[in-house]
Structure 1
Amino acid sequence: MDEEITSKGIIGRGMRVLLRAIRMEPFMFTLGALGAIVHSGTTIAGAFVSGAIVDMVVVPSVENGEPALAALAIAVVVLIFVSLLKIAGMISRRLGAGAMQFRLQARHRRLVTRRYLGLPVSWHQKHQTGTLLSNANADVEAAFVPIAPLPFAVGTLVMLAAAMVALFATDWALALVGTLIFPALFLLNVVYSRKMSPRMTRAQQLRAEVSAVAHESFDGALVVKTMGREAEETTRFNVSADELRDSLIRVGRLRGLFDPIMSALPDIGTLAVLVVGVWRLSSGAIGVAEIVSVTFLFSVLAFPVRAITWVLADLPASVVGWERVHGVLKATGDMTYGNGALDREGPARLAFDSVSFSYEDGTKVLRDVTFDVAPGKTIALVGPTGSGKSTIASLATRLIDPDGGVIRVDETDSRTLKHAELAASVALVPQVPFVFDDDVRGNITLGRDLGSSDPDEQVWNSLRIAQADGFVAKLDDGLDTQVGERGTSLSGGQRQRLTLARALAGRPRLLIMDDATSAVDPKVESAILAGLKDSDNPASVLVVAYRRATIALADEVVYLEGGTVVARGSHETLLAKVPGYANLVTAYERAEAERAAEGEFIDDSEVSA
């Protein structure tokens, strides 16, 4: 996705991006290009109208000593007409270019965002969040920056072609000046583009790096501040920011060198026209009108020609932005879904049949894992760190797919189900709770249709099961309380219970809890698990558990070691017959007793952070 872009072939690749954009927005491009052509045509016409006015109005008035009022009135009408056409062309050009650019940017932001949502978690884990934000924003903008001056540049090309025809029709010597100046402008643009390409490429890449560093620092603000690493993080950000600054200075320095030259060439052409024109006038080959027209033409070309420079100058950044965006749109790793459906009646059955899973580097995580969760039962998944418990939770909710084996929900292969069908029946409460910068109600409903005549009652019911209704009721605005970014106004236990209530609000038939109550008091945790069994919509539960009290509440325990199911049975049976399980559970119990003795666990159900 971060493929290096060099100046080689940059114009050709940039033109392909522009042609692709034109094919996507043909109407708006046509509107802008036609407006630019009308604007260019009236600019050339204005030059020759000015020459005619000098020849037919100014010169006779000077020679006769009195103004030619009739001719002057005609000249005013013609100038007004030409000006109105020029204004109409300018409006059309700007509307077409602006609408085309903003539509393309909006479309591709949506495409990139949809692609992010369609890619598996494993893909996201390999890409920095700051880089992904840059892809969806800065890169999309950069890809279509040349669209703004593109119709103007098209009109300028038409203007230059028409100007050359007009020059040859006027006088060969004046046309010779144009044949020297206009190719020089194009040559300078090409050189400028090639010199600018690597500089713009580096600047675009550094923008993504600065965004990534900033996002990481902000996201880890709590760690940075508690560890006293503010100065180091500031230095790290400054290094990236300074590199971006230096890169943009190099871009500005090159632009500052070429822009005056680009502006000076038409002025040099104007001086050359005056010199050649005086010589041709003295020989009687042309008149004053021709000199005035051509001189005026060269003077008005200075600004439009810059449009070509703008397009070519933005091509390197456009190519970089497009190829980074295109890298996201073409990213592989899609999870395909079928058209299968579930009955959605009663608790679901979950079955793992000889499931294996490996990371992309070849590290084996799970080996021939087989177990099931019977409808309405609670299964505790227990094992030492790195045994594959969280991987099983991700596989059960199909955030990832296994390398081998089959995962079934209600005897149906989960890969054959519709995405919406699986999401409606299976819910995951992750280890780390994520709370949106919204009110309590919004965090629980997530804008979903909860299928209830009284959605708030369903929200409160979910909060009651999650043992969160007490602290929510005491908040100043209840369900309307804004909880802040990532739920900063709540304690860790409150955030966990809020995310559990979010999962329960959708009435899942299978609930996966990946150590989702680690910050909750053990008594509250027991009440939560009891509430799940006694609710009006009971669900099968697979809980990644560490505490002995939690494990004891489960109907059955599945014990993992090294990615393999070593034993399964009741807590008492495994405790008596499996030494590894007994050592692990008692170790957790001893650690928890120490934390409790130190006052680490408190019942925060009535406390707001």
Structure 2
Amino acid sequence: MSAPPQPPRYPAPKSTIDPDQSRSWLRRALPIVLAHRRVLLTSLGLSLVGLLVQVQIPNVMRLGIDHALIARTDRLAGYVWWLAGLAVVSGFVNYLARRFLLRTAYEIEYDLRNIMYAHLIRMPYGFYDRVQTGELMSRSSSDIRAVQMYLAFGPSILVQCLIAVFAFALMLSIEPLLAVVAMATMPVIALLGVWMRRAIFPVSWLIQSRLAQVATVVDENINGVRIVKAFAGEQRQVTLLASAADRVRWAYRRDAYIRSRWSPTLENLPRLGLALVLLCGGWMVIEGSATVGAIVAFNSYVLMLQPPFRMLGMMIMMGQRAAASAQRIYEVLDTRSEIAEPADPVRTPILGEVEFAGVEFAYPDGTVALRGLDLRVSAGTTVAVVGRTGSGKSTLGRLLARYYDTTGGSVRVDGRDVREYALDSLREQVGIVPDEPFLFSVSIRDNIAFGRPDAELADVVAAARAAGADGFVRALPEGYDTVIGERGYTLSGGQRQRVAIARALLVNPPVLVLDDATSAVDVHVEQRIHAALRDLLRNRTTIIVAHRLSTIALADTVVLIEDGRVAAQGTHDELMAAEPRYRDVLATMQSADADEQVPA
């Protein structure tokens, strides 16, 4: 009996973004906040308790001054102990509130990153043909952080601003007229906050957009560093990055200008209230209608009002940046995949009969690859596909695995349209080895076992041996446990291709597409790989996109594609005898192959 499946180590987010695009960005993000409402409400409740304790301190000071220092009706020590106790309670409660708040913030960030990543990995090839990697990295990092900051800390700042309400209530209970004087500047502050919000939003959007442009330049230069160095283009690329960074600097300067224009006013208006309290309160003390303790308490309350309004200005700026970032995130999340999962997906083992029936296809940029192509590959046979560059050979495998959907006609496996199969089931059974394989920055064993993470080492070694990779892998410092560099660039092109072939063979798919998978392997090594593949390809449907004459020898049938259609089909000998276009293509391939063998 097989062991029960293990639960995932990292749980999925409890909620997701509201898909209703007619709602505000905050309403759409609300389900994620509500998923963590217990921890967040605990934090806000503790903050509220801390505020209630904090606003009592000036009142205790007022009573101590009036009763213990001026009237001398009470002992001063009692009020000192009260102040010390309130300070300890306030500090402890605020510590707990901060701890729960940070926990909420990180959980919201976790959810947002997982939602974004899960959406990105579901997007088809066509999406990545249109969108730059750096742009996606920016939206998945800095934009998510901006939204997370506002969703987590925004409610806390609003609760902190309640201190103004509590302080005003206590001031009213002490001296109503003086309380009105102290709060006289508040309506002006509220109006300035609205104006500041309107001014900051477009600049916030511009900052996030230009940060994404910088990320794109950096990403392309890191990934293409070998090309940059090969053409001595370092200085040009530094200039390009400096130009992008200069545009970000301009946006940040504009943001700083708006902040410097509005923030000082927002922060200092409460100080004007302090001056009014001293003026009016002093007059009232002289007249005998107020006490010295009341003036001291009111000064403390007015000083308490300054941090909330400073935070209110910060919250306005955070909100505008979060709104801009959220819209950029939603642009990605609202993009629907053109490759839709069928309503009733088929999950059956594939035998391997493949048919392209009147297939037409154009890439998202408008490039037409196939024009009514008809091709049938019987189960268990090996077909070599040849043709000139751009004839549409590689497109066959991409349509077969549903990386793209046809724009006309259909692709069928075992008589079913590939659009009827569950995507994961289809792709598990249709293996593709591209001509430019991608390897991860993990061990060679993990790269080969990517499709079967639970594979035994013996199975990994067997697949590597069949792909001609076992010899050079064992020669590495740590053998199969050797961690390769990013994208596998510590290996040669031929070595990367052999690891990619081993990765596909380990999964053992019933349908295998080798898209010029040995183009970077020298002829002698390729012959050894072919010798091992002959047994492995038996009873397996294999489509080989061939750019070398030696590769065609593996095939039972050869298909010539020209201008997006099947121009001829037959054995190699039949096509050589009857099809001049096939001879021309082979002559071109042979010439290119000979050029590769001539030493520089």
Common fold by TM > 0.5: yes
Amino acid at match of 2:528: A
- Would the alpha carbon gap of residues 104 and 53 (structure 1) be closer, same or farther in structure 2, given more than 3 Å must change? same
Q: CA deviation at 1:432?
A: 0.8
Structure 1 distance, partners of 2:400, 2:567, is: 19
Residue from 395, 401, 421 that aligns with 1:397: 401
- The answer on 1:232 being equivalent to 2:232 is no
Mapped contact 1:192–1:258 kept (Cα < 8 A): yes
Q: Secondary structure at the match of 2:553?
A: helix
Partner residue in 2 for 1:348:
352
Structure 2 distance, partners of 1:563, 1:548, is: 21
Partner residue in 2 for 1:6:
none
Mapped contact 2:467–2:502 kept (Cα < 8 A): yes
- The answer on 1:87 being equivalent to 2:91 is yes
- The answer on 1:26 being equivalent to 2:31 is no
Q: CA deviation at 1:21?
A: 5.1
Q: CA deviation at 1:356?
A: 1.7
Q: Secondary structure at the match of 1:122?
A: helix
Q: CA deviation at 1:376?
A: 2.3
Q: CA deviation at 1:532?
A: 2.0
- The answer on 1:519 being equivalent to 2:520 is yes
Q: CA deviation at 1:233?
A: 0.7
1:43-58 equivalences under 5 Å are: 43-58=54-69
- Would the alpha carbon gap of residues 19 and 468 (structure 1) be closer, same or farther in structure 2, given more than 3 Å must change? closer
1:157-236 equivalences under 5 Å are: 157-236=161-240
- The answer on 1:426 being equivalent to 2:426 is no
Mapped contact 1:143–1:318 kept (Cα < 8 A): yes
Q: Secondary structure at the match of 2:379?
A: coil
Q: CA deviation at 1:178?
A: 3.0
Cα deviation, 1:501-532, whole Å, max 9, x if unaligned, reads 11111111111011111111233323323322
- The answer on 1:335 being equivalent to 2:340 is yes
Partner residue in 1 for 2:4:
none
- The answer on 1:74 being equivalent to 2:85 is no
Q: CA deviation at 1:15?
A: 5.3
Mapped contact 1:533–1:539 kept (Cα < 8 A): no
Question: So what's the TM-score if we normalise by structure 1?
Answer: 0.89
Mapped contact 1:560–1:566 kept (Cα < 8 A): yes
Structure 1 distance, partners of 2:475, 2:32, is: 55
Partner residue in 2 for 1:594:
595
Q: Secondary structure at the match of 1:407?
A: strand
Partner residue in 2 for 1:150:
154
Mapped contact 2:25–2:327 kept (Cα < 8 A): no
Cα deviation, 1:387-440, whole Å, max 9, x if unaligned, reads 111111101122111123222223333222223322321111012111111111
1:98-137 equivalences under 5 Å are: 98-137=102-141
Deviates more, 1:235-244 or 1:84-93: 84-93
Q: Secondary structure at the match of 1:598?
A: coil
Q: Secondary structure at the match of 1:354?
A: strand
Q: Secondary structure at the match of 2:141?
A: helix
Partner residue in 2 for 1:546:
547
Mapped contact 1:425–1:510 kept (Cα < 8 A): yes
Q: CA deviation at 1:175?
A: 2.5
Q: CA deviation at 1:447?
A: 6.9
Q: CA deviation at 1:368?
A: 2.2
Structure 1 distance, partners of 2:536, 2:381, is: 13
Mapped contact 1:101–1:144 kept (Cα < 8 A): yes
- Would the alpha carbon gap of residues 266 and 319 (structure 1) be closer, same or farther in structure 2, given more than 3 Å must change? same
1:195-594 equivalences under 5 Å are: 195-333=199-337, 334-337=339-342, 338-343=344-349, 348-360=352-364, 362-446=366-450, 448-450=452-454, 455-535=456-536, 539-594=540-595
Q: Secondary structure at the match of 1:435?
A: coil
Q: CA deviation at 1:481?
A: 1.3
Partner residue in 1 for 2:15:
none
Q: Secondary structure at the match of 1:312?
A: helix
Mapped contact 1:556–1:568 kept (Cα < 8 A): yes
- Would the alpha carbon gap of residues 14 and 427 (structure 1) be closer, same or farther in structure 2, given more than 3 Å must change? closer
Mapped contact 2:33–2:108 kept (Cα < 8 A): no
| RMSD, aligned α-carbons | 2.2
Q: CA deviation at 1:271?
A: 1.6
Mapped contact 2:441–2:488 kept (Cα < 8 A): yes
Mapped contact 1:383–1:584 kept (Cα < 8 A): yes
Structure 2 distance, partners of 1:15, 1:473, is: 55
Q: CA deviation at 1:148?
A: 4.5
How many equivalent residue pairs? 576
Mapped contact 1:266–1:298 kept (Cα < 8 A): yes
- Would the alpha carbon gap of residues 537 and 462 (structure 1) be closer, same or farther in structure 2, given more than 3 Å must change? farther
Q: CA deviation at 1:289?
A: 2.5
Structure 1 distance, partners of 2:153, 2:349, is: 57
Cα deviation, 1:167-216, whole Å, max 9, x if unaligned, reads 33333431332332222222232222222222222111111110001001
Question: So what's the TM-score if we normalise by structure 2?
Answer: 0.91
- Would the alpha carbon gap of residues 539 and 529 (structure 1) be closer, same or farther in structure 2, given more than 3 Å must change? farther
Deviates more, 1:518-527 or 1:127-136: 518-527
Q: Secondary structure at the match of 1:502?
A: helix
- Would the alpha carbon gap of residues 540 and 524 (structure 1) be closer, same or farther in structure 2, given more than 3 Å must change? farther
Amino acid at match of 2:427: A
Structure 2 distance, partners of 1:88, 1:147, is: 24
- Greater relative contact order, per chain length (Cα 8 Å cut-off, separation 6+): 1
Structure 2 distance, partners of 1:88, 1:154, is: 20
Structure 1 distance, partners of 2:375, 2:240, is: 48
Q: Secondary structure at the match of 1:543?
A: strand
Q: CA deviation at 1:224?
A: 0.7
Structure 2 distance, partners of 1:518, 1:219, is: 22
Structure 1 distance, partners of 2:68, 2:94, is: 29
Q: Secondary structure at the match of 1:553?
A: coil
Mapped contact 1:30–1:96 kept (Cα < 8 A): no
- Would the alpha carbon gap of residues 537 and 325 (structure 1) be closer, same or farther in structure 2, given more than 3 Å must change? farther
Structure 2 distance, partners of 1:266, 1:563, is: 74
Mapped contact 1:42–1:86 kept (Cα < 8 A): yes
Q: Secondary structure at the match of 2:550?
A: helix
Structure 2 distance, partners of 1:341, 1:176, is: 73
Amino acid at match of 1:516: A
Q: CA deviation at 1:598?
A: 3.1
Deviates more, 1:464-473 or 1:31-40: 31-40
Mapped contact 1:17–1:322 kept (Cα < 8 A): no
Q: CA deviation at 1:361?
A: 5.2
- Would the alpha carbon gap of residues 17 and 296 (structure 1) be closer, same or farther in structure 2, given more than 3 Å must change? farther
Q: Quick one: percent identity of the two aligned structures?
A: 30
Structure 2 distance, partners of 1:15, 1:377, is: 56
- The answer on 1:41 being equivalent to 2:52 is yes
Deviates more, 1:474-483 or 1:94-103: 94-103
